[in-house]
Amino acid sequence: MPTVFLQVAIPTPLRRRFDYLPPVDMPLEQVALLRPGTLLRLPFGHQEVVGVLLSLHQEASVAANQLRHALGVIDELPAFMPDVLALCLWAADYYQSPVGEALHTALPALLRQGEMARLRTEPIYHLTTAGKGLPAGSLKRAPRQAALLAALQDTPYLTRADLQILDIPTTTIKPLMKKGLVACSEQVLTPESTQTTLREQPLILNPEQAEVLEKINLDQFQVSLLDGATGSGKTEIYLQAIARTLAQGKQALVLIPEIGLTPQTLQRFQRRFAVPVVALHSGLNDRERLDAWVQAREGIARVVIGTRSAIFTPLKEPGIIIVDEEHDNSFKQQDGFRYSARDLAVMRASQLKIPLLLGSATPALESLNNAQQGRYQYLRLTRRAGSAVPPSIQLLDIRAQPLHEGFAQDTLKAIALEIQARHQVLIFINRRGYAPTLQCHDCGWLANCNHCDARMTVHQQPRHLHCHHCDHQRPLPSRCPSCHSHQLQPLGQGTERSEEALRQLFPQTRILRVDRDSTRGKHAMHRLLDEVQSGEPCILVGTQMLAKGHHFPLVTLVVIIDADAGLFSADFRGPERMGQLLLQVAGRAGRADKPGTVILQSHHTEHPLVQTLMLQGYHALAELLLHERRITQLPPYRHLALLRAESKRPELAVEFLRLARAQAEQWQPSSHHFSYLGPLPAMMEKRGDRFRYQLQFNSAQRKPLQQLLAQLTAQLENEALGKRVRWSIDVDPQEMN
Ligand code: ADP
Ligand code: ZN
Ligand code: ZN
């Protein structure tokens, strides 16, 4: 009988660990050498799955004769480095996720499918003896070839990635190889011990930037919130902090929002550093993704740039983590393992004892609060570093005005003027994630809840108004209670046809649509940006995507059609997100000689939130919102979790949540410090064929909430009803829908 058992995590929704016997043919001394984080092939039901070894132990939970043998070890080199494993285990606990699911989310797809993580050979281009002997100034008539030769004279070899950065197409190399001047060989890359880490000279920092850079201590764990307007020089700070990290022989990990990883961003990093920079972006196939991952682990990639899941990238010599646009929603995964990459970055940096830099022009209220409480170092850049001038913002009262598919007459006039002047215009449609409340177009009346200072949400099945803050319900009115108009409309609707309307109104002008669908595919966004960069007049129509990453220097007018949908969202984060979006969008437009204008259409021009945002800016708005959050007992002053349930039969989901609440209240009675809300219908109550409900938990302290959720999920897993509905837990939810 073997005396060692393998405790493993398996990708199933079950929240438990499993025991296996070692592979039949594996000698015990070899088993003893297996390390946590190793991937194993395991029989599971009738399937074969890839599991993660968590520990070796002497006693199993079940009698040994009921356990199955592992089928084999995929790779004795653990796929999880100790720090990444620890991070995932912590996160699985914190987010109440099944541990196997959390671990699988953290792995590149090919490893999940049982591949080994090894460096591959790569083609490398270098000069032949003949090429080295060529006199300077040869090949004058083929400037591209001459450029390539010159580049090769400065360095032992160039990789494909280098060629891409230098903008040398492979068609340039072929003739040189034919002439016997350049040769190509396949090699495994090894970490280079070059002394030079910079390809181009850094900018000279202005005094404010210099002061900020000095405050970033590279030798310890420290979270800094770098708060500076778009164009204030944050990225230059990142680049110089990374340069210092590289000079210490360490690596940098940079997280950016899903849509922020543009070719421009990547090139800016690659142009600056003479060391390998790899990007983990959605354009990569699984093989390329695994290659980048391995290169990071082996210390070949010195700068790793990626979106949310890059937080799990193994690093040989981690030196700094940077999260750009830290307020961005895409750092939170919204399904499966619902983690926040920004929050995990704090955990990982603290484990590794390295600095973390969170940067934004519009920091999340959570982060601002952490800075105010002294948990984060607060660094501000108040001046514009480049030459661009901030745009002016115009508030346009559209109450009782005739609207053409959402556009006021004045807005259309302004668009026409810019197009005549051969400028570009950006139309921002604010649609995702906002639940409709009811508004009177003639007087601006809103469907307020009688019991709290919140708007009620329009539900269609059955038609009624529902308050998501206190659960109060009432029927939909047919007329405006204030002015008796029939012009009652759900907010945030009526913009669907805006693009079509623009096509009809401006038939001569190119209308470019920027959203998830139009930019899918490797090169779609590239092509679109090229078109914009060509400088021809055009109207860009887009959603949230337009607010991130890209600069549109030729855009001189930005129109935000429906500010109200954000300001009066049923999601308590609506106003915060609206403020962030407005400033982010505004920051994308205009430049020194063509300053931009932003038109904000609203029915509520006199509302304190709108006024504060317009007159005093994002930080004043943030102060106001923080004050509100404190009074209304919401994050960052309280901790939230959602238990969601959905089912084709609504009564099952509701019953499940009632049961959950009753159970939870036995362990953690409602009190001033701990409250429950629900079961409530989700803002979008029906999606697909399913009816969706939620139960909210609100706690003054994290710990009791964590304890309760752990207990509750364990209980719910064994609940018969739990098998008939789809349910999930969301800790620190970012979207309440
Ligand atoms: P952010 O990341 O805050 O938007 P960037 O770092 O991209 O700001 O800087 C905005 C512009 O100003 C860029 O074109 C950048 O090259 C330029 N810039 C930044 N810092 C300096 C500096 N110290 N001197 C001159 N130009 C600068
Ligand atoms: Zn009215
Ligand atoms: Zn209410």
140-189 residue pLDDT tens: 777 788 878 877 777 777 877 777 767 777 788 888 888 888 888 887 77
Determine the 3-state secondary structure of 732 from DSSP. coil
- Per the prediction, the chain carries an average pLDDT of 87
237 close to ligand 1 (CB < 6 Angstrom): no
Looking at the domain that runs over 639-731, which CATH code has it been given?
A: 3.30.70.600
232 close to ligand 1 (CB < 6 Angstrom): yes
Domains of the chain by residue range: 5-112, 121-188, 207-289+299-381, 392-435+492-628, 639-731
Residue 435 has pLDDT above 60, yes or no: no
Confidence of residue 523 (pLDDT cuts 50, 70, 90): low
**Cα angle, residue 614 at apex, residues 612 and 617 outer, rounded to 5°:** 70
Protein residue whose Cα sits closest to atom 11 of ligand 1: 386
Residue 32 · residue 73 · CB < 8 Å: no
The owner of tokens 């996160």 is 91
Pairing state between β 538-542 and 510-514: parallel
Nearest to 473 by CA among 457, 493, 487: 457
The pLDDT assigned to 124 comes to 83
Look up residue 535 and give its two tokens: 């400088």
Neighbours of ion ligand 3 (CB under 5 A): 449, 451-452, 467, 469-470, 472
The pLDDT assigned to 604 comes to 87
Selected from 3.30.310, 1.10.3470, 1.10.287, 1.10.10, the CATH number assigned to the domain covering 121-188 reads 1.10.10
Looking at the domain that runs over 207-289+299-381, which CATH code has it been given?
A: 3.40.50.300
Look up residue 731 and give its two tokens: 């800790």
Summarised one tens digit per residue, pLDDT across range 350-367 is 999 999 999 999 999 999
Summarised one tens digit per residue, pLDDT across range 333-346 is 988 999 999 999 99
The owner of tokens 């961003």 is 265
Cα 78 to Cα 35: distance, rounded to the nearest angstrom: 7
316 DSSP β-pair partners: none
Determine the 3-state secondary structure of 204 from DSSP. coil
Residue 479 has pLDDT above 80, yes or no: yes
Average pLDDT over residues 592-603: 81
Q: How far is the CA of 402 from the centre of ligand 2 (A)?
A: 15
Q: Which ligand is nearest to the CA of 632?
A: 3
This prediction's pTM: 0.86
Nearest to 696 by CA among 62, 683, 336: 683
Confidence of residue 434 (pLDDT cuts 50, 70, 90): very low
Q: How far is the CA of 246 from the centre of ligand 2 (A)?
A: 61
Burial class, 593, CB count within 10 angstroms (exposed 0-12 / middle 13-18 / buried 19+):
exposed
Q: How far is the CA of 268 from the centre of ligand 1 (A)?
A: 11
Protein residue whose Cα sits closest to atom 12 of ligand 1: 386
Cα 564 to Cα 455: distance, rounded to the nearest angstrom: 12
Average pLDDT over residues 521-536: 74
Specify whether domain 5-112 bears CATH 3.20.20.70: no
Phi, psi values for residue 498, rounded to 5°: -60, -40
The pLDDT assigned to 1 comes to 53
The pLDDT assigned to 591 comes to 60
Looking at the domain that runs over 392-435+492-628, which CATH code has it been given?
A: 3.40.50.300
265 close to ligand 1 (CB < 6 Angstrom): no
Q: How far is the CA of 568 from the centre of ligand 3 (A)?
A: 14
- Asked if 207-289+299-381 and 392-435+492-628 have one fold, the answer is yes
Pocket test for ligand 1, best of 212, 235, 256 (most atoms within 8 A of CB): 235
Query: How many H-runs (helices) and E-runs (strands) does the chain carry?
Result: 23, 32
Highest averaged pLDDT of the listed ranges 90-104, 464-478, 491-505, 521-535:
90-104
Atom of ligand 1 nearest to the CA of 587: 4
Q: How far is the CA of 476 from the centre of ligand 2 (A)?
A: 14
Atom of ligand 1 nearest to the CA of 324: 2
234 close to ligand 1 (CB < 6 Angstrom): yes
198-207: long-range contacts (C-beta < 8 A, 24 or more apart)?
Answer: 198/243, 198/272, 198/273, 198/274, 199/270, 199/271, 199/272, 199/273, 199/274, 200/271, 200/272, 202/236, 202/239, 202/240, 202/243, 202/272, 203/236, 205/233, 205/236, 205/237, 205/240, 206/233, 206/383, 206/385
Protein residue whose Cα sits closest to atom 6 of ligand 1: 233
Nearest to 356 by CA among 207, 545, 216: 216
Cα 250 to Cα 320: distance, rounded to the nearest angstrom: 8
Atom of ligand 1 nearest to the CA of 204: 23
String of DSSP letters for 493-504? -S-TTHHHHHHH
First to last CA, the chain: 53
Confidence of residue 610 (pLDDT cuts 50, 70, 90): confident
Cα 118 to Cα 277: distance, rounded to the nearest angstrom: 18
218 close to ligand 1 (CB < 6 Angstrom): no
Q: Say which DSSP state 519 is in.
A: T
Average pLDDT over residues 53-78: 89
The pLDDT assigned to 494 comes to 45
**Cα angle, residue 132 at apex, residues 128 and 134 outer, rounded to 5°:** 115
Protein residue whose Cα sits closest to atom 13 of ligand 1: 386
Q: How far is the CA of 486 from the centre of ligand 2 (A)?
A: 8
Higher pLDDT, 560 or 545: 560
Phi, psi values for residue 214, rounded to 5°: -65, -30
Nearest to 291 by CA among 169, 105, 124, 122: 122
Q: How far is the CA of 415 from the centre of ligand 2 (A)?
A: 29
